[in-house]
């Protein structure tokens, strides 16, 4: 096999959902946008549906097509981007629930799909999506009379429990929604971990399902092994890779493995990343190229056939830290060329 093997554990995804659900006394949905955070939205949704999930969130309407085709009519599929121009037919045909983000979206939805389910998204301080306080005040009576499935907002700093933005947004959300009859939702993964004050009627975990921070107790859901294509011996003073950025300071054994920035392995990892042969760390030397990495395997007791980039010795967030990014980005950039092995539910 000349491509990397990406192993996806759906049992771990389900276990993480159950753990997060067990922290609340309300309903728990699941966010499966961005192709299930890179793990495969259809397989993830199918496993979670079997576990009891009945509401899924996607970013845009097009992401719902494969999920609806696989799961049929039973689950509710909600769309964070709301009712965009050109989405009307898809929303109707797939029975999607758009989260209406503006007065314009609300007006278009009521005019084009009267009586069709919808939710409302409010902006409580993140300034990204949703109606601000004055906008909501102007249309709240009209919108609530049409019985939205949920009124929601999104926390900007939930991964920092002590950040003052969290209580600020909570206070704004209460000001905008206290006393309404519709179900309310504020918490994604980080919000669940902030405690019951943030849970309301529905939570929407995302990254926590897939093994990422801030859910530190999450089970790992992916492993990534990269096959060794060639091993060569270098003399002291020889160089490796584009730009001659790494030079051997001793006789060195270099393994060239299949994987590169075309597979979601960031160039910033050049001369920084660590791969593993069992428990033994092996440094990436030279630049990350489009399809290949070069790894110093001099100190291994045997010539490896593969090296592990994500696994028991290095989590998604460990790798993200080396790349100066977050686990979300590592997961969602997992390349299409990998040989994917999915097991579990």
Catalytic center residues: 33, 242
* Angle, CA 265 vertex, CA 17 and CA 65 arms, to 5°: 50
Q: For strand 202-203 and strand 27-28, is the pairing parallel, antiparallel, or unpaired?
A: parallel
> At 143, which helix (H) or strand (E)?
helix 133-145
* Contact call for residues 277 and 172 (beta carbons, < 8 A): no
Instruction: Count the neighbouring beta carbons within 10 Å of the beta carbon of residue 81.
Output: 19
Cα 42 to Cα 9, 151, 170, 286: the distances in Å are: 14, 26, 33, 37
Length of the chain: 345
What tokens were used for 344?
Answer: 């579990």
Instruction: Count the neighbouring beta carbons within 10 Å of the beta carbon of residue 1.
Output: 10
Sequence-separated (6 or more) residues with CB below 8 Å from residue 234: 240, 248, 251, 252, 253, 254
Q: 284: which strand partners? A: 295
Backbone angle region of 135, left / alpha / beta, with phi > 0 → left and psi within -120 to 50 → alpha: alpha
What tokens were used for 332?
Answer: 């969602």
DSSP secondary structure string, 54-98? -EEEESSGGGHHHHHHHHTTSSEEEETT-S-TT-HHHHHHHT-EE
Calculate the dihedral angle through the C-alpha atoms of 271, 277, 279, 283, rounding to the nearest 10 degrees: -10
């Amino acid at each position: 096999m000349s491509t990397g093997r990406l192993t996806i554990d759906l049992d771990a995804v389900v276990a993480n959902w159950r753990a997060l659900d067990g922290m609340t006394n309300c309903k728990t949905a699941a966010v499966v946008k961005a192709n299930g955070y890179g793990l495969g939205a259809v397989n993830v949704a199918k496993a979670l549906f079997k576990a009891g999930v009945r509401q899924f969130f996607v970013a845009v309407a097009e992401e719902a097509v494969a999920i609806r085709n696989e799961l049929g009519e039973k689950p509710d599929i909600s769309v964070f981007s709301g009712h965009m121009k050109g989405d009307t037919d898809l929303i109707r045909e797939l029975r999607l629930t758009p989260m209406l983000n503006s007065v314009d979206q609300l007006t278009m939805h009521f005019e084009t799909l009267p009586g069709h389910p919808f939710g409302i998204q409010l902006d409580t301080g993140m300034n990204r999506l949703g109606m601000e306080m004055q906008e909501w005040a102007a249309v709240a009576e009209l919108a609530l009379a049409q019985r939205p499935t949920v009124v929601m907002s999104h926390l900007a700093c939930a991964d920092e429990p002590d950040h003052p933005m969290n209580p600020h947004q909570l206070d704004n959300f209460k000001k905008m929604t206290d006393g309404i009859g519709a179900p309310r939702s504020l918490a994604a993964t980080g919000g669940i971990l902030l405690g019951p004050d943030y849970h309301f009627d529905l939570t929407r975990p995302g990254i926590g399902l897939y093994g990422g921070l801030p859910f530190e107790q999450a089970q790992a859901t992916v492993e990534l092994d990269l096959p060794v294509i060639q091993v060569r011996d270098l003399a002291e003073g020889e160089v490796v890779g584009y730009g001659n950025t790494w030079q051997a300071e001793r006789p060195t054994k270099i393994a060239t493995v299949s994987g590169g920035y075309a597979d979601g392995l960031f160039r910033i990892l050049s001369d920084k990343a660590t791969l593993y042969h069992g428990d033994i760390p092996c440094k990436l030397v030279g630049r990350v190229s489009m399809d290949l990495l070069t790894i110093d395997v001099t100190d291994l007791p045997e010539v490896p056939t593969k090296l592990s980039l994500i696994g028991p010795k290095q989590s998604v967030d460990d790798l993200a830290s080396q790349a100066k990014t977050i686990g979300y980005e590592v997961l969602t950039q997992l390349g299409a060329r990998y040989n994917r092995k999915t097991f579990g539910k």
